[in-house]
Amino acid sequence: MLISSKNKKISFKELSNKQKEETHDSYRVFKDLKTKGLIVKEGLKFGTDFRVYEKSAKPGKDHAKYLLYILERKNKLKLDDFCAKARIAHSTAKTLLLAIIDSERDINYYEVNWKSIT
């Protein structure tokens, strides 16, 4: 079996380590949002990492406020991918929230809002 990432051959061990790191980042973001009192649910239906609800929301009854994507600062986000993420959030009446993991492994959040110019 041949495994490649960005047209570069990688070993199964490298793939496994990458998966563990991504899972660890997801858990860290999940835990961080929970400590802030937010309600965090999976975002698979929207193609996101998580749906995030405000503290007082009741999932299933209320809608999520945010669609959250986890990115590493070292990875580049293509403009068309960014636009697609923003459009999905906008079309579902949610706000796009990016969780950026920096080089020190700190989590930085960026809220993306639409602005109308009249």
Query: Active site includes 24?
Result: no
Helix (H, G, I), strand (E, B) or coil at 108: strand
DSSP character at residue 31: H
The one catalytic residue in 24, 45, 63, 110 is 63
Assigned CATH class of 11-112? alpha beta
Is 0.85 topped by the overall pTM?
A: no
63 is catalytic: yes
DSSP string, 38-90: -EEEE-GGGTSSEEEE-TT--BTTBPPSEEEEEEETTSPPPHHHHHHHHHHHH
Residue 36 appears among annotated catalytic residues: no
Extents of the domains making up the chain: 11-112
Give the torsion sign (CA, 75, 18, 38, 82). positive
Averaged confidence pLDDT in the chain: 87
The predicted structure's pLDDT at residue 58: 92
Residue ranges of the chain whose pLDDT lies below 70: 1-7, 15-23
Catalytic residue among 66, 69, 85, 94: 94
